[in-house]
Amino acid sequence: DPGADNDLYINQAIVFIEDAIQYRSINHRVDSKSLWLYRWYYSRTCQWILGLTITIILALAFVEKPSSLTITSDVRYRLPAWNPPCGLTESVELLCFLVFVVDVSVKSYLIGWEEFWKNKWLMAYILTLIVSLTDWIVSLSFFCTENVRIRRILRPFFLLQNSSMMKKTLKSINSTLPEMASVVLLLAVHLSLFTMFAMLLFARTKDGQQDKEWMGYFRNLPDSLTSLLVLLTTANNPDVMIPAYSKNRAYSIFFILFTVLGNLFLMNLLTAIIYNQFRGYLLKSVQSSLFRRRLGIRAAFEVLSSLKETPANAQQSYVSAGALLRVLQKVEMDSRCKQAIMRSLKTCSCDQLSASQFQKLFEELDKDAIKQHPPSPEYQSHFMQKMQFAFGHSYFGYLGNVVALANIVSICVVLVMDADKQPSERDDFFLGAINCFFILYYLLEMLLKILAMGLKRYLSYPSNRFDGLLTVILLVLEIATFAVYGFPHPGWRPEFLGLLSLWDMVRLVNMLIVFRFLRIIPNMKFMALVVTTLLDLVKNLRAFAGILVVVFYAFAITGIMLFKGAVVPIGNYYLSRRNVILWLSFLFGNFQAEVVYCVLYILSVNLICRWAKIYFVAWWLISSVIWVNLFVALLLENFIHKWDRRCHREPLSDIEYQRTVELMFRDVLEEPTEEELMEKLHQHPHLQLCR
Amino acid sequence: DPGADNDLYINQAIVFIEDAIQYRSINHRVDSKSLWLYRWYYSRTCQWILGLTITIILALAFVEKPSSLTITSDVRYRLPAWNPPCGLTESVELLCFLVFVVDVSVKSYLIGWEEFWKNKWLMAYILTLIVSLTDWIVSLSFFCTENVRIRRILRPFFLLQNSSMMKKTLKSINSTLPEMASVVLLLAVHLSLFTMFAMLLFARTKDGQQDKEWMGYFRNLPDSLTSLLVLLTTANNPDVMIPAYSKNRAYSIFFILFTVLGNLFLMNLLTAIIYNQFRGYLLKSVQSSLFRRRLGIRAAFEVLSSLKETPANAQQSYVSAGALLRVLQKVEMDSRCKQAIMRSLKTCSCDQLSASQFQKLFEELDKDAIKQHPPSPEYQSHFMQKMQFAFGHSYFGYLGNVVALANIVSICVVLVMDADKQPSERDDFFLGAINCFFILYYLLEMLLKILAMGLKRYLSYPSNRFDGLLTVILLVLEIATFAVYGFPHPGWRPEFLGLLSLWDMVRLVNMLIVFRFLRIIPNMKFMALVVTTLLDLVKNLRAFAGILVVVFYAFAITGIMLFKGAVVPIGNYYLSRRNVILWLSFLFGNFQAEVVYCVLYILSVNLICRWAKIYFVAWWLISSVIWVNLFVALLLENFIHKWDRRCHREPLSDIEYQRTVELMFRDVLEEPTEEELMEKLHQHPHLQLCR
């Protein structure tokens, strides 16, 4: 039936083009029903539901039994957290699991059985679901009183498997592991040799008077190891060396040698290794995205060229413009792009498209949306034109910056003057009057700019939107203040009224004013460069951040399970003080945020203390050492690339916030050759090409 | 007089070739007397005297009045340091100054007056000398009782100006300063905005109960600024956020935002900037060294070609082999290189050398000394041959490593077992017996290896030298122990005899055994790579280390002057705890190493405290931020280059310790062209070339 065949080809072309737009793989089933299922699965609604399910199942940890949804983290003051009844969170969980079961079945069906057996991620997905469901049944049959819930540690896997970027990143990290392991081994050797040295050097002396160092830090092997490990994070420096140093200055050589070798050389060696591995990472990932896009377009061309309506041509295959138009109308894509492609299809005025012409049409997809700001209004009156010139000029913007700076300085002066005053002595009049004046200026500035530029043009600049929004909020707050507390006058110290006290209102206004000051950023070239690079970085870091969330989550849940009910003694010092306590205490139900020294508990909870040590060392290695280094590597990569570009060509006057990673690398990307594309197409497991 | 002319040319060629060997500039006077002076000035003796003078003048700080040459650093216990009488250190100083005066005069004379006025370093040198001498006269006329000694801060300049590498590095750092300043400005903006936020957020509340955060960290503007600055170094994290966090978990968002933006983004941005600037630094410096070498050789060729004995040739200039031989005999250079050049000159058997032939002869200089290990002795006896095979085999080396590991483990076990014992309960017999056994094995291993390889071949391996030396020392120590305390037996706990107690002897032996364990390094590939790279890095870092010494010295002297006689309160926390206290207390005479909190002294020494804050912030910026980043940049550069090489070709079986920086970059270096060389030669201020 040629009509049905033609419909199938059209549908295939639609799906392939959508794959190309979304950088998806085209290796899925291509019969009519599967195509319908595929489009349904990748429709916005379905993907949104899947995302929501993942969010819900991850967020369950906040309300589940050892929950930490309390305002204060201090165990002495906080009220007992709300405990959901047994079965409530469990039924939500079951719903989520059902969604995942549907998800994994559809996915497995769509890629086909042969592919399924090769796909380890899908297998792991199914395994995770089976384990989770079993654990869920066990949990319900114990009426939620069981201690260990394996499924909670497995949860972040659902986040991981749903993002192809994260899977790719994980693969990259995985390939770096052997070299990282070598450095960690080196660190271990370094640590153990120095520990032995330390134990011999700071041994117990016979007189027992001067062995403070031995008492405090090198009493036995685990203590010595811990002391030096913590010294590696520089958290207990210089405390650890003070007793020895005050006995004999020469002892400092030992500590300096240890720190220089360990912290300066070996730790930075890790940075170097990771940077070296990730140097090409971004480029490679963008390159493979490009390949997927070109492949999808080429596949669409190939299926369209097998349409019966095209004349059989032995030498080259062609696609009729009409068929492409029909496909385009059904493809879901950015309307601007679609219109641009249709326009160039019409201007081309060719009836038959060759492969390269076809490919060229879709290059519109790679192009950046060039943002056209709407025109300013044209005034007839001469006075208005002058006004427009004056207030549309960039100097007016600079004046606004100067006024914002003056406001900041005035707030600062008042804060310094009020610093040592009692709250009752404080006169809120001065700050109130100043703010009133400045907010009026901001309002005026906004109105004049809108007058000069027209509302549409004004709103088309992100800096103006930021500015305008904050001005409106400030205005609303100020009006609310006046409505509740009346106009400012000397000795303006009214009683508490309404939601917030006057002092709180003023503080809030001031904070917003400080925040509004950030509008100066685009005016400073270097700052603008830094900020745009940071924004780019945030985009590129999403996959890493996702993996970090996965690791955090798993660690937090493990921590809850390990240290359940016990006040956690966290090592003789706060190991890797940077953020461990901070981040973990977000999720830990009964984690005391105030630092409790292990020493106090060493007798009663010795076992837990040792577990805690291992736990925190693992945490420090992963979060502080590996992740921070990954971050530094990516930052180096991004910045250096950006700088090189900046040197090559002058920056545009207007900073374009729309810049994507693909565009950043456009100059260095390689277009895939026709042979590569066709070879890949012929390897497609479900698509049989005629030729 | 053609004979005198010829002698002059020969001498010029000698000096130019020596310049080329030492990578020196050839822009100096070239008349006979100046050449003699030049060779005298760059002779080993003169340069050694100059180096010694610099060392002496820098070391004076250790014995001068607020000296710190005491064993303990604890002000409570230590004896008053030796105070040299007035005039002693001053006369040593005067001697040093006189040497510097001679140095600067010779240098200025040699480069000529026109060049002198362009050379800012020489001008600064003279200025420094004038200021120092004036200060010295003032000092003596006050009988050493004056408070401020400017000349002590100026001392490191003498170190700086004597090294061309350091001057070059300083220039590179200087060119990075504008971008670094931008980031530091960004950091300052970041800090001040967040300080204002913090002061508004953690303001004094009316009830006065819950404002622990305000009390502790954000009482006024300087306090808030300090708290957040210290948070940037993560030294007071998480202490600073605990009060706010235990009030409301949401406050942590403020601190996390501050730390992520400041510490993770902006600080690493600094790394990226510095790395980006220094990426080509090593290559560029090696490239310019190569240019100097080629230029020196070429200059020698040009002057030799103007010798009267060569036949006038209109087209090309030639140098006679005889003249070159005469020059070579007088040049001071590595004898291996000299012989190699003479040998190839003879085998070439050409009478006239063209420029390229001449250049080619001297390429021997760039070549690495290929280390030929002497051959093993050849034994006649069949038994001896078998012995030689067995003990010369690499498995015998591995066995040695295993035994060393076993020794380490046994020491470790004894240490763990003895950890909690009183010194009087400890039985030294076990450790003594074990060590005795192992040291005998080490001795046997060394002797067998010498037997198998012959003494010369054995000593030609650095790992064997390390091994052998330690074995001999261990043997001597062991024999000394037996001589003093007799042979080990159970209950071996003799009284204190001789220089060291038995326990100290055993500890020393054990430490040496742990140290000896490092011999395994060359056997592990990755470790060997890391270690060789580190050694390379140390070579490349000499210039940076020199600059660091200069900065340290200046800071330490400033510190002594600023905080003279006062117990130094060092800020509310120990700012940049890493190494400030440590390093500075090396030189600070009256710097209390035990941490004294500023709070205690805030009323009495408020002024000093504020100075101390500024001083320590500056110190932190320079030592911790900038220098550590420079170090990371160089490390990245070195490692990445090395890894790329490792990927390109397989590593040699034997690690070559002789590898120089020049060799590392040989593949990428560009040879200077003939035009460049000749252009540079024609710009020479003192050499008039005939053509």
Q: What is the percent of chain A with per-residue pLDDT over 70, rounded to a whole number? A: 78
Answer yes or no: do B510 and A73 touch at CB < 8 A. no
Question: Are the C-beta atoms of residues B221 and A419 closer than 8 Å to each other?
Answer: yes
Class of domain B382-519: mainly alpha
Residues of A in Cβ contact (< 8 Å) with B514: 193, 196-197, 200
- List pLDDT tens digits, range A128-184: 999 999 999 998 888 877 767 788 888 889 988 888 888 888 888 888 888 788 888
- Tell me, what's the pLDDT at B168? 82
Tokens of B611: 């100075």
- List pLDDT tens digits, range B622-672: 777 777 788 888 888 877 777 766 655 444 434 343 445 555 666 677 888
In the predicted model, is pLDDT for residue B247 greater than 90? no
Give the residue on B whose Cα is nearest the Cα of A181.
B526
Average pLDDT, stretch B165-187? Answer: 83
Domain definitions of chain B by residue range: 382-519, 524-651
Average pLDDT, stretch B287-307? Answer: 87
Segment of A502-511, A662-671, B62-71 carrying the highest mean pLDDT: A502-511
- What values do phi and psi take at B554, rounded to 5? -60, -40
> Can you give the pTM of this predicted structure?
0.77
- Tell me, what's the pLDDT at A442? 92
Closest Cβ–Cβ partner in B182, B197, B237 for A526: B182
Q: Does B657 touch chain A (CB under 8 A)?
A: no
- Tell me the DSSP string of B411-440: HHHHHHHHTTS-TTT--HHHHHHHHHHHHH
Q: Which of A582, A571, A557, A564 is nearest to A613 (CA)?
A: A571
Task: List the single best residue of B176, B195, B518, B526 to mutate versus A (max A Cβ within 10 A).
Answer: B526
In the predicted model, is pLDDT for residue B376 greater than 90? no
CB neighbour class for A652 (10 Å; exposed up to 12, middle 13-18, buried from 19): exposed
Q: Which of A260, A177, A165 is nearest to A539 (CA)?
A: A165
Residue A26 to residue A298: CA distance in whole angstroms? 11
- List pLDDT tens digits, range A4-55: 788 888 888 999 999 988 888 888 888 889 999 999 999 999 999 999 999 9
In the predicted model, is pLDDT for residue B81 greater than 70? no
Closest CA of chain B from A242, distance in Å: 7
Task: List the single best residue of A189, A207, A219, A246 to mutate versus B (max B Cβ within 10 A).
Answer: A246
Q: Does B484 touch chain A (CB under 8 A)?
A: no
- Tell me, what's the pLDDT at A42? 92
Closest CA of chain A from B548, distance in Å: 14
For B304-331, give one letter per residue: b (16+ CB within 10 A) or e.
Answer: bbbbeebeeeeeebbbbbebbeebbeeb
Tokens of A544: 């890493």
Closest CA of chain B from A387, distance in Å: 34
Q: Does A22 touch chain B (CB under 8 A)?
A: no
Query: A125 falls in which pLDDT band (50, 70, 90)?
Result: very high
**Nearby residues of B235 by Cβ (< 8 Å), 6 or more positions away:** B573, B574, B575, B576, B577
- List pLDDT tens digits, range A200-221: 888 776 665 566 777 777 777 8
Closest Cβ–Cβ partner in B73, B206, B628 for A245: B73
CB proximity under 8 Å: A 620-649 to B: 628, 631-632, 635-636, 639-640, 643
Residues of A in Cβ contact (< 8 Å) with B236: none
- Tell me, what's the pLDDT at A273? 81
Residue A110 to residue B122: CA distance in whole angstroms? 78
Q: What is the percent of chain B with per-residue pLDDT over 90, rounded to a whole number? A: 12
Q: Looking at the DSSP assignment, which residues form a beta bridge with residue B352?
A: B320
Closest Cβ–Cβ partner in A73, A275, A514 for B249: A73
Answer yes or no: do B246 and A594 touch at CB < 8 A. yes
Give the residue on A whose Cα is nearest the Cα of B194.
A514
In the predicted model, is pLDDT for residue B600 greater than 50? no
**ipTM more than 0.90?**
no
- Tell me the DSSP string of A180-226: HHHHHHHHHHHHHHHHHHHHHHTPPPSS-SS-HHHHHT-SSHHHHHH
Q: What is the percent of chain B with per-residue pLDDT over 70, rounded to a whole number? A: 78
Residues of B in Cβ contact (< 8 Å) with A527: 186, 189
DSSP code, position B320: E
Query: B601 falls in which pLDDT band (50, 70, 90)?
Result: very low
- List pLDDT tens digits, range A79-123: 666 777 888 888 999 999 999 999 999 999 998 888 888 888 999
Give the residue on A whose Cα is nearest the Cα of B643.
A276
Q: Does A62 touch chain B (CB under 8 A)?
A: no
Query: B6 falls in which pLDDT band (50, 70, 90)?
Result: confident
Tokens of B440: 């005998």
- List pLDDT tens digits, range B333-347: 888 888 888 888 888
- List pLDDT tens digits, range B413-465: 888 887 777 766 766 677 778 888 899 999 999 999 888 888 888 888 888 88
Answer yes or no: do A507 and B200 touch at CB < 8 A. yes
Answer yes or no: do B276 and A186 touch at CB < 8 A. no
Question: Are the C-beta atoms of residues A608 and A563 closer than 8 Å to each other?
Answer: yes
Average pLDDT, stretch B540-563? Answer: 76
Answer yes or no: do A408 and B643 touch at CB < 8 A. no
Tally of CB atoms within 10 A around B171: 9
Q: Does B6 touch chain A (CB under 8 A)?
A: no
Residue A611 host element (H or E): helix A606-619
Kindly state the greatest CA–CA separation across chain B. Answer: 104
In the predicted model, is pLDDT for residue B283 greater than 90? no
- Tell me, what's the pLDDT at A335? 81
- Tell me, what's the pLDDT at A655? 38
- Tell me, what's the pLDDT at B370? 60
- Tell me, what's the pLDDT at A571? 39
